[in-house]
Each structure stands twice: as C-alpha cells, then as structure tokens.
Amino acid sequence: MGETLKGVGPAQEEELDLPSQADVLRKLVKGEKVVVAPGVFSPSVAKLAEREGFRAIYFSGAGFSNLLALPDLGITTLSEVAQAARQITSRVAVPLIVDADTGFGEALNVARTVDEMKAAGAAAVQIEDQVLPKRCGHLEGKELVEVDEMVKKLVSAKEAAGRKLMIIARTDARAVEGMDGALERAAAYARAGADMIFPEALEGREEFAEMRKKVRLPLMANMTEFGKTPYMTAEEFEALGYNLVIFPVTAFRAMMKTVKDTFSALKSEGTQKGILGSLMTRKEFYGLIDYEKFEEADEKAMKAAKRLRRGRS
C-alpha cells in the first residue's frame, strides 16, 4: 500500500500492520523530487493545501501561536498543539509535520510529546535546540542548549517514536555558533537517531550546499519570508540535494493581509460589493469541506430511523 487509510488511527494501523503516516513521509523524502510542505494552521487551510496537490503539510509553531495572537516564543502548550494537529489529521490524508518547538520540556517531556503526536496522527515531529523562551529562527537573540541536552531529548524522542513517527532535529546554531557549530550539532543529532536534520536560518546557497555535502541524512530547508535565508525556489533546493522544503507562514501572512484589506474596505465603503471577486464563494467553500456528504449522511440516517419506526409499529 502506498498510503495510510483515512479514518484509521495509529493504534489500528499497528494492529493491522498498515503503513503509518511516517512511512508515507519517509517514502516521499526518499524520492527524486523535493517535497514541498506549505504551512497550515487549521483543518480548512490543510484541506486547501491537499486539494492543490501538496504531498505533505507543515504545522508551524509560529503560524499557530500567531493565530492565537501570541508571539512565537514557545508559550503554546502541548495539549493545544496536539489538539490542533489532531483536528487537521482527521480531515486530510496527507502527512502532517508538527513543529513542537523545544519539545515542551526536558527529555521525559519530549517522550510524552512524541506519544501525543503519534496519537494525533502526525507523520513527523520537529524539535529544536534553543533554550526557552525560544525565538523565531530568523531573529536575533537566540540561545542554544548544550549539545548533550539536545542529544538526550532526541534519544528520548526516538525511543518513544519507534517507526511510527519521524523525528526531525532542528539546529539554530548557524546564527549562534557559525557554520562549524551547525555542522557539528547536525552530526551529533544524526548519531542520536534523528531521521532528518533541519539547519535553520542558513544564509546562502553555499551554506546549504556545505550542509548537504557533510550530512548524510535527509535535509529540510525553511523558505520563510523576511528572514536571513535568501529567496530560493523549491527547484533550487532540489538541485542542492534537499529532501523537504517548508513555507511555514506564507499562507498565514497572506490571510492576515487579506483580512486586513477586507476590514479596511468594509470600514471605508460600508459594503462588501467591491471585493466580492476576492472572496471564496459559498459553493467553493462547501465543496472544500464536502458539505453535501454531511447532508447525504444525515438524510440516510433519517431514512433509516423512519424505516425502524415503521417496523416497530
């Protein structure tokens, strides 16, 4: 089988010996084409990404915290993130990569985080080596935990994950310890059992190439906006040998700009007539969320109820 069955949970997958979402993602990143994973922050947005043909999606810690009108400082909770991830995986079939910031605590907490993400149906969890409060990877002022502390977290994460969840190790060392530090940490995290390395905030094609040359594991790149990494296309990352590239908050930023412009138009014009062309129609949205299937299910249940009632009488 090439993918998991929608509606079958992690426990049932194991019992039936079905491929997990992690297996699906592993197969994707081993392919010749780079996997592009857009950032999503709600089930409806995830369904849009799936409908557009993306083969994997990324639950961004920044996107989620910003959705809650909170800064990206690692102050969301495990229960909040797990619930949001579960809501997404219940509505789409493509693998979900979850940004778990620093793992919500120390090594034992990280194991709990992994268990929760497996239960939520995630394909992979990303853990970074910053201290709390963490910073956006493209801002100044980041501090890193000691290598041994991060390795301990990864060992704990890998033990809890087994084959049911990919573990992505993010290092923010480039901005703090330079490329040498980033490469040393990448090697240590690979030895700890990480399935993929995510070198954050590299500053040019040459640095991405150097990382690829010296790290044998699959590599993930972050193509965010307004950051330290110059704008590169998915094809350019593919040519450098990268396996996965995320666009973590692009859709969130687009949404916020559109909502701001919409409110401005409503405030100034007192009507939405002038912006109807920029709105998703009722029909389009209902098609996205499979509205008719819910109506059909309700109608089917009512017919069954009426038959049962007639049978009793």
Per-residue pLDDT tens for 46-60? 999 999 999 999 999
* pLDDT computed for residue 313 by the predictor: 53
Helix ranges (H only) for 136-173 are 147-161
User: CA-CA distances (angstroms) from residue 214 to 19, 207, 238, 252?
Assistant: 31, 11, 16, 34
Q: Which amino acid is at 283?
A: K
Picking from 70, 69, 35, the residue whose alpha carbon sits closest to that of residue 49 is 35
- Residue pair 221/170 in contact (Cβ under 8 Å)? The answer is no
DSSP 144: B
Q: Which band of pLDDT confidence, cut at 50, 70 and 90, is reported for residue 139?
A: low
Stretch 51-74: mean pLDDT:
95
User: Which residues make Cβ contacts (< 8 Å) with residue 124, sequence separation at least 6?
Assistant: 22, 25, 95, 96, 97, 98, 165, 166, 167, 168, 195, 196
- Asked if CATH classification 3.20.20.60 holds for the domain at 10-248, the reply, yes or no, is yes
Beta bridge partners of 246: 37, 222
List pLDDT tens digits, range 177-204.
999 999 999 999 999 999 999 999 999 9
- Residue pair 137/222 in contact (Cβ under 8 Å)? The answer is yes
Domain-wise residue ranges, the chain:
10-248, 257-312
User: Which residues make Cβ contacts (< 8 Å) with residue 106, sequence separation at least 6?
Assistant: 149, 152, 153
Q: Which band of pLDDT confidence, cut at 50, 70 and 90, is reported for residue 310?
A: confident
- Residue pair 201/171 in contact (Cβ under 8 Å)? The answer is no
- Residue pair 61/102 in contact (Cβ under 8 Å)? The answer is no
Checking if the pLDDT of 5 tops 80, the result is no
Picking from 160, 71, 167, the residue whose alpha carbon sits closest to that of residue 128 is 167
Checking if the pLDDT of 1 tops 50, the result is no
Q: Which of 15-29, 109-123, 168-182, 255-269 has the lowest mean pLDDT?
A: 15-29
CA distance 2 to 130: 36
CA distance 248 to 55: 15
CA angle 136, 26, 108 (to 5 degrees): 55
